[in-house]
Structure 1
Amino acid sequence: MRVTQSMLTNNMLRNLSNSYNNLDKYMDQLSTGKKINKPSDDPVVAMKGMNYRSQVSNVEQYQRNISEVHNWMDNSDSSLGEATQTLQRLRELAVQASNGTYEKGQRENIAEEVDQLKEHLVEIANTKVNNKYIFNGTSTTGTEQADGSYTKPVTVDNNGIVTNVSANGEAVNIEVTNGTKLQTNINPANVFGTQLFEDIEALSVALKSDNPDAGMQTAITNMDTHIDNTVNERADLGARMNRLELIEDRLASQEITATRMMSDNEDANMEEVIIKLTTQESVHRAALSSGSRVIQPTLLDFLR
């Protein structure tokens, strides 16, 4: 095959172009820290990267869901703790008032505290977190009325009498991992039901009556029942909180694994890239030097 000057020149230019492309690739890897900068650089790496990113994105979304569940459960647990203390105080007052030495005025003072504690329980039952009622099931904005308006789960009149208890007992389930949904709320009917407020109002009425002794033992028994109901509901919530912590730990491990796999797939080995870049620079200089010898002098070079 006859080799011409044009062939030598074209080969030199093509090799220089390839050398520039390699320099550009290594410079991009060095500046971005990534093996590829567009899918066409390596379709296999790009496809795996999309899968790994989806895994990381899913884990991050579940972690955000878990944060919402934590917020809901922590506030529910705190509120149930307050409710338990309030019920225990009501029981103490009933035991105290069962002492036959108390005069009517003293019993009325106890009744005043009972009424205040009842209002406190109403406030707990109407607890809102992030503008949502946490003890109203799926009706987090309130209980819808026939006229389209919304009311609190527990409503009272101007005299402090509970007029309506309409707590929604439907479970609020949030997905915390793939295929696993966790109930975030309690059943408010087991704690803040109509019977609770009727029993407290009955205690208050008995304390204000002329013969309160007959109602005190019943009130003590009722308070014991409500305390047990609240403690049991809180125990069930605590069990779910413990499970949530286990799921959270597992998600943290999955996040570390998925992030590492994504990094191994996409991130460039900087030491290797620097070595390749340095080597390519040397190759490029050698190509330029050899290229200068390929371009033969012409008659014009001698006529200068």
Structure 2
Amino acid sequence: MRVTQSMVAANSLRNINKSYGSMAQYLEQLSTGKKITKASDDPVIAQKGMYYRTSLNEVEQYKRNLSELYLWMDNSEASMDQGNKSFQRIRELMIQAKNDTNETTDREAIAKEIAQLKEDLVSVANTQVAGRYIFNGTSVNTAPVTSDANGVVVNSENDPYLVEVSRGIQLKANADPSQLFSQELFNTIGEIERELSEDDMDLDSLLQKFDGLVTTFSAERSDLGARYNRLELLESRIDNQEVLAKKVLSENEDVDMEKVYTDFITQESVHRAALQMGASIIQPSLVDFLR
């Protein structure tokens, strides 16, 4: 086959253009840090990237759900602690009221303090986080306890407020209000107030009943603590999943900067050599030889 000057020039230019393309690709990878910038660059990497990114987004959503759970549980624990302090004070006052040396005015003062503690328990039961009641099940927009001149009324819902923390796994965020701030609890505290106005008090049975309600309260608080421990374990697992998801996504899409830079320098050297060789072959013409 006869090789002409035009064939040599065309092949040389085609290879130089390919070299430019390779250099441009390396430059783009160095600039973006990514192996591809559009799906057509490598459909396999693009498809895997969509799957890995979906998995990462899912894990990040679960982390946001965990934050919501922490918010609910931390506030629930703080409220329960405040409620427990009120219970302890009520019990102390009941023991104090049983002393025969108390005058009528002393018992009235104790009754007034217990009334104030009852109102404090109402406010604890109506604790809100971000405008939502945390002790009313799924009815987060309705106060579970109301108080007026006629007394305290409990209208709490027991449906659990569930939050998804992993695929197919839900964790209850709220404590059971029926075990914490029941109608029986407020009725018992009301009976204690009325009993203190009697000359012949009998607080023993009420104290026993009150202690039973406090025990129920403490059991629900322990249940919240157990769920909090599980939440911390779930957080650790999801953190590991996030690290792995980011690692897989990075391995699929991110370039090895050192390798790409080395390849770019090598390609640049090859390109310069091709330009020099092409110039030495293409430039001479018949006129050059006739001089």
TM-score scaled by length of structure 1: 0.91
| Other-structure match for 1:122 | 122
Q: Which runs of 5+ in 2 are unaligned?
A: none
| Other-structure match for 2:281 | 294
Which residue type is aligned with residue 30 of structure 2? L
| Other-structure match for 1:34 | 34
| Other-structure match for 2:198 | 209
Instruction: Give the number of equivalent residue pairs.
Output: 291
Query: What do residues 182-217 of structure 1 show as CA deviations (whole Å, max 9, x unaligned)?
Result: 011111011111111111111111112232x22x11
CA contact (8 A) 1:83 1:124 kept: yes
Residue in structure 2 matching 1:153, options 144, 149, 157: 144
CA distance in 2, matches of 1:184, 1:119: 25
Residue in structure 2 matching 1:268, options 255, 258, 267: 255
Corresponding position: 1:243 with 2:243: no
Query: What do residues 82-116 of structure 1 show as CA deviations (whole Å, max 9, x unaligned)?
Result: 11121121111111101111010000000010000
| 1:301 positional shift | 7.4
CA distance in 2, matches of 1:274, 1:187: 61
More deviation in 27-36 or 169-178? 27-36
CA distance in 1, matches of 2:285, 2:56: 63
| Other-structure match for 1:255 | 242
| Matched residue SS, 2:105 | helix
CA distance in 2, matches of 1:13, 1:38: 27
Corresponding position: 1:283 with 2:270: yes
| Other-structure match for 1:51 | 51
| Matched residue SS, 1:208 | coil
| 1:45 positional shift | 1.6
Which residue type is aligned with residue 156 of structure 2? A
| Other-structure match for 2:160 | 171
| Other-structure match for 1:12 | 12
| Matched residue SS, 2:174 | coil
CA distance in 1, matches of 2:96, 2:19: 94
- Percent identity of equivalent pairs: 49
| Matched residue SS, 1:204 | helix
| Matched residue SS, 1:55 | helix
| Matched residue SS, 1:186 | coil
- Write the mapping of 1:77-88 to structure 2, written as runs, cut at 5 A: 77-88=77-88
| 1:298 positional shift | 4.8
CA distance in 1, matches of 2:24, 2:270: 14
| Other-structure match for 1:68 | 68
More deviation in 67-76 or 8-17? 8-17
Which residue type is aligned with residue 265 of structure 1? N
Query: What do residues 163-188 of structure 1 show as CA deviations (whole Å, max 9, x unaligned)?
Result: x2101111011000111000111110
Query: What do residues 107-130 of structure 1 show as CA deviations (whole Å, max 9, x unaligned)?
Result: 000001000000000000000001
| Other-structure match for 2:136 | 136
Corresponding position: 1:190 with 2:191: no
CA contact (8 A) 1:88 1:227 kept: no
CA distance in 1, matches of 2:272, 2:215: 85
Q: Which runs of 5+ in 1 are unaligned?
A: 143-151
| Matched residue SS, 2:99 | coil
